[in-house]
Structure formats: structure tokens, C-alpha cells
Structure 1
């Protein structure tokens, strides 16, 4: 499938900023089943952009802009060819061993409820792949309509207990629950093409299965990612795979707006 992405992030500041430094995880990588046909990251002010690869294998762009800066617009456009692999990831950059993704972070601490939920969901499973599919369906049943929304910073256990969550939160719940079952799991930030209007990138998770490798799971949809998904960045949690992260030097308040359009252009094949 050919998918077009138009992702516009606007920052407005109540007072001019002296300097802005941001790390952008906005560029998808090529795998055996995902090919970047065209991709451009642009900004509307004088800024230096430096491309690099982070420790997780993500393509990143460092943005450096000197003030005074009253506003900043980051615009991403591109097209990607995708293939349905039933969630199996093939040919991705993997600089780290799977065991690294058993590491707990403050955002993915399982707390009291998630380990019991994971054990109950995986009860009777034939193998680890079956355990992950059962966990994926169980979270979907509990949070069937979790929207794509800006990151609230909520830890997985807190969002699970609250009973209200975004796609980021549910992805982190899956990760925390999978790790409680001793299965390496990681966070994925990207795009999903469907009929729903998006106000933020989509989030899902991947679990590691011996003999197969990394397999994607989207607990918001209750399925594994297919050709409608564009995989952009991975991390231990939502903060580690955030589309934009950085610092600013200056006083005043910041307002951020996101305008995102993901469109299916057809099949190529």
C-alpha cells in the first residue's frame, strides 16, 4: 500500500525564545516491508538540521535555532510503501539485543494491577506468541476506543487504574504487562491510515518471540499492524520514542498544535 503523510506541528510562545534545541523522531526507516519513497522535514525559520541515528536505530534529526523566536512550525511530508506481514518485523535496524527491552522505566512500571491482568490474560496460552495475542485482545476489550492524543506523561499503571487512556497509554500497558511475563517488549511511534481524524501520531507495541523475532501488536485495535501502519521510531516507552523532544531557552508559555493527515493512495504491487 502507498501511504501519504502530512504532519504539521506548530509551536507558539507568549514571549520570544532565545534558543531552541529539539530532537525529531519523524523519519521512518526502510525495512523489508516498508520503503520510504519520499520524505521531507522542514521548518519555517533559520535553523540548522543535522541527521543522525540514535542508540535504538531510529533516524533522528537535531534542530538548532537561535532567537528571538516567537513561533516555530515543523512540517513533515512523505510517501511510504508498506506490505502486510501480520505484524512480523523484518529487516529493521537492531543495534540492541532483545533483553534490553525487559528494562523497566518509570513510565512502564507494572504496578499492582498489570501483572495480575497479564497473567490472567495469558492463562492457557500455547506459547509466547499466543500469550502476546491474548494480552493484545484483552487490552483492546478493556480500552476499545483509546484515541490518538498528545502525551499526558501518565505511567502505564496509573492509566490502567484510571480506566481512561490514549493509544500511548495502552501501548505502555502492553509493554509493562509483557515484561511482567518476562517477554521483551518495546514502544512504537508511527502513523496509521484509517477513517478516523488524528490529532497525534499513533502508538503501538512490539514483543519479541524466539524463532520469529519482533512482532507488532496494536492493543487499541486488538490486532497486529498491517499495511495501513507506518513504523517510525521505537523506544523503551513513550518518552523514548516521542516524535519531538527538546529544550528551549526563554521565558513565557508554550502552546503546541498538531495537524496530521494520513491517506491511503492505493496499492502498489
Structure 2
């Protein structure tokens, strides 16, 4: 399948900022499941810095904008050819050992009911345990926009029983790490009807004998050819497509639109 992407992020400031610097994880890496046909990242008034591939195999670009500016737009457009790998990440070049993804963060601390829930997967084969935990998260957290915030932890989302893909993903990687299975947060795109207000997220769990396997607990499936993988990290902050800081200015308003469609072939 060939997917087209248009992803626009706008930052508006109450008063002009003197400048900003950003790190972008906005360019898909080529794997056996996806091949970039064409891709472009444009930052209004932006100066592109260095580009490199980090230890996790993700493409990182640095950008800066010299002020004063009161609005910055980041426009991502491109086409990616995808094919269904049954959720298994194949052909992805990375050097970080899987056990590094056993580390907790503030958002993925195993509090509340997580230890008890995780124990329900013990005694199962690794792949069966991963599927069990993904199904458990999908059942316990009902997709509800506005019920959580960016700082909501995995334990809090499970307790509330509501959340979005970020919460499903945090919960799943936290449960997996609790039983000694490396888990990481993945940011990317999912083909859907109409405009979306954010990129998508899912988990990858390291299954002995298979390697990294993706699980989208929010949609109760493994990533297939509707998905484009951008990058990964320990949690949503670590895997964010855009990270950075601005100098000066007042309040900030963020507006995001994402459109992912199947191209006419």
C-alpha cells in the first residue's frame, strides 16, 4: 500500500519569541515494512542543522528559527510504501540493546494495580504474554478524548479506565516491563478517515525469538500496512516527533492536523 501524509503543526505565541530550537523525529526510517518514496519537512523561517540516525535507528533532524516570530509552522508531506509484517519490526537498523527499555520513567512508573495486572501474564509463552497484556489494556482503557492529559501516568490511566493512544501505550509498556519484557513507546501515523488532531502511538514489546513486535492496544491490533513508524522512546516525551524550546515570548497555542490516506495507484 502507498500512503500519503500531510502533517501540519503550528505554534502561535502571545508575543513574539526571540527564537527557538527544535529536534525532529519526523522522517520514517526504511524497514522491511515501510519504504520512503518521497518525504519533506519544511519549517517556516527555519534553518536546518544536522541530521543523524540515533542508536534506536530513528532519523533526527535539528532546526532553528531566528526571531522575532509570533508563529511557526512545521509542514510534513510525503509518500511511504508499506506492507504488512504482522506487527514484527524487521530490517530496522539500531544499536541499543533491548534490555535498555526495561527502565521506568515518571510516566511509566509501575504504581497502582500494575504489579497485580502484570502477574496475570506470567507462565505464558512470551508472544502469548504480550498479546494478553495488549488485550488487557484494550479492555481496561476506553478510548475517551479529554479524559487525560500529557502528564497522566500509566497507573492513573488504568485507574480512570479512560484515555487515548498515549495512555494505552504507556500502560502496555509499563505492564510488559513489570514482567521483564522490554517495551517502548512508538510514534507514527495511522491511516484514518478525515483529519486527525495528532499523530498516533503504539507499543513495541521485545519477544524472544521474534524481536520487536508492535501492539496497538487502543485499536486492539498489531500494526499493519495502515501504519507508518516514525520513532521510539521510553515514553511519549522521549519519542515525541517534535521537541524543543523557545526563547522569550508569552503563552503558546499549539494546533496540529494530520491526514493519512491511501494514494491512488
Compute the TM-score of the two structures, normalised by the length of structure 1. Answer: 0.93
Deviation at 1:194, TM superposition (A): 2.4
Deviation at 1:18, TM superposition (A): 0.6
Deviates more, 1:245-254 or 1:44-53: 44-53
Q: Would the alpha carbon gap of residues 25 and 147 (structure 1) be closer, same or farther in structure 2, given more than 3 Å must change? A: farther
Deviation at 1:219, TM superposition (A): 0.3
Q: Is the 8 A contact 2:55 2:94 kept in 1?
A: no
User: Of the candidates 223, 237, 240, which is equivalent to residue 238 of structure 2?
Assistant: 240
Following the alignment from structure 1 to structure 2, what is the Cα–Cα distance between the partners of residues 148 and 78? 30
Following the alignment from structure 1 to structure 2, what is the Cα–Cα distance between the partners of residues 157 and 149? 14
Deviation at 1:46, TM superposition (A): 4.2
Q: Would the alpha carbon gap of residues 257 and 173 (structure 1) be closer, same or farther in structure 2, given more than 3 Å must change? A: same
The corresponding residue for 1:58 is 58
Does residue 94 (structure 1) correspond to residue 94 (structure 2)? The answer is: yes
The corresponding residue for 1:192 is 190
User: Of the candidates 208, 211, 214, which is equivalent to residue 210 of structure 1?
Assistant: 208
The corresponding residue for 2:261 is 263
Deviation at 1:145, TM superposition (A): 2.5
Deviation at 1:148, TM superposition (A): 10
Taking only aligned residues, the RMSD between alpha carbons, in angstroms, comes to 1.9
Deviation at 1:62, TM superposition (A): 0.7
User: Of the candidates 137, 141, 149, which is equivalent to residue 135 of structure 2?
Assistant: 137
Q: Per-residue displacement from partner, 1:114-170 (whole Å, max 9, x unpaired)?
A: 1212222x2663x01000101111111122435599961222112222222110111
User: Of the candidates 161, 164, 175, which is equivalent to residue 163 of structure 1?
Assistant: 161
Q: Would the alpha carbon gap of residues 187 and 132 (structure 1) be closer, same or farther in structure 2, given more than 3 Å must change? A: same
SS of 1:225 mapped into structure 2:
coil
Please list every run of 5 or more consecutive structure 2 residues that lacks an aligned counterpart in the other structure: none
Q: Is the 8 A contact 1:156 1:169 kept in 2?
A: yes
Q: What are the equivalent positions in structure 2 for 1:1-269 lying under 5 Å apart?
A: 1-120=1-120, 122=121, 125=124, 127-146=125-144, 152-195=150-193, 197-265=195-263
Q: Would the alpha carbon gap of residues 197 and 141 (structure 1) be closer, same or farther in structure 2, given more than 3 Å must change? A: farther
Deviation at 1:96, TM superposition (A): 0.3
Q: How many residues matched?
A: 265
Deviation at 1:84, TM superposition (A): 0.5
Q: Is the 8 A contact 1:148 1:167 kept in 2?
A: no
Compute the TM-score of the two structures, normalised by the length of structure 2. Answer: 0.94
Please list every run of 5 or more consecutive structure 1 residues that lacks an aligned counterpart in the other structure: none
Q: Is the 8 A contact 1:186 1:205 kept in 2?
A: yes
Following the alignment from structure 1 to structure 2, what is the Cα–Cα distance between the partners of residues 149 and 240? 22
Q: Is the 8 A contact 1:11 1:73 kept in 2?
A: yes
